[in-house]
Structure 1
Amino acid sequence: MAAVVRRTVDAPVDRVWATVTDFAGYGRWIPLTRMRTDPGEPRVGWQFGGFTGLGPVGFLDSMLVTVWEPPADGVSRATFSVRKTGYVLAGWADVVLEPRDAGTRTQLTWTEEIVPRPVAVGRLLAAVADPLTERLFGRAVDAMAAEAAQAGRPA
């Protein structure tokens, strides 16, 4: 089972895309997390990961980009997907951005499944883990949405 977070963002698709694909910046929205990314621009096959913990104690949540479809004209639908490849967590995330209100707003849908390894045992925890995942990513998505909306406003 997966957690789904939907938000309408007061910003066009291109601005929301720039925010939600700032993988190096995910530590701004996910507590106790430091990011590392492959060099270059994200694309299919590109990898990134977040080390979550205090000091040296924690775990690396590594991910591989499996779908990469930026907004072709800055305002069209956009999507990306990642697959979790780490030793601690399995799962995936699909993120879809769709223009609303003549392109001035964006419908952001973030669907994520996080399964602790070993997967057979982790799936037994889904009833407890999915609501926690939804809450955690709800907060992160809210912060991303606020940043994207604020980016277009005069200082």
Structure 2
Amino acid sequence: MTVRLAVSAAVRADPGRVWSELTDWAGQSRWIPFTTVRAAGATTGIGVRVTALSGFWLARLPVGLLDRFIVTDWRPPDDEPGRLEVLHLGPYFTGPGVFTVVPGDGATRIECVELFDLPAGRITEVPVRLLLPVMRRGFGESLRRLAAICES
């Protein structure tokens, strides 16, 4: 089963500032609640490997929702929209995610589209469809937190 999650937010900040905050992996904990993010090796560009945990670490054991992904496209904004594309590698979901940073008159728009392939097929379909509106609101709130950080 594939789930599509799309959210966006207007940010009264320069596109470069939005990009900088978006791609500050460790700093994402400031705008994504209960989440720690770690990048292994390089922290910029295509090929960056990231581990995000919504929960907590018990020594080396992750407790919560673990998401591993790799950056597959990296185009900072200048005169054109910026594009950060990732491929989620699991273990709980896989699939592509795209953040677009779109310059505008007086505001920058950040758009995110995630396509999650869930494990266990139809068993997860009903619970996920019920949770999708909650996930959308939560992710939208995270983008609003990102906007507030960029605007401060």
C-alpha contact (below 8 Å) 2:21/2:28 kept by paired residues? no
TM-score, normalised via structure 2 length: 0.83
- Match in the other structure for 1:24: 26
Q: How many residues align?
A: 146
CA RMSD of aligned residues (A): 2.0
Residue equivalent to 2:88: 84
Gaps of 5+ in 2: none
Residue 143 of structure 2: aligned partner: 141
- Equivalent position to 1:58, from 59, 64, 81: 64
- Secondary structure at 2:91's aligned position in 1? coil
Give the Cα–Cα distance (whole angstroms) in 1 for the partners of residues 124 and 94 of structure 2: 9
Q: Is the CA contact 1:115–1:126 (under 8 Å) kept in the aligned structure 2?
A: no
Percent of matched pairs sharing the same residue: 28
- Shift, 1:67, TM fit: 1.2
Could you say what secondary structure the match of 1:86 adopts?
strand
Q: Among residues 102, 106, 110, which one is paired with 1:98 in the alignment?
A: 102
- Alpha-carbon distance, 1:125 to partner: 4.2
TM-score by length of 1: 0.82
Letter in 2 for 1:91: G
C-alpha displacement at 1:63, in angstroms?
Answer: 0.8
Distance 1:67 1:147 in 2: 24
SS at match of 1:135: helix
2:4 maps to which of 2, 23, 26:
2
Structure 1: 5+ residue stretches without partners: 151-155
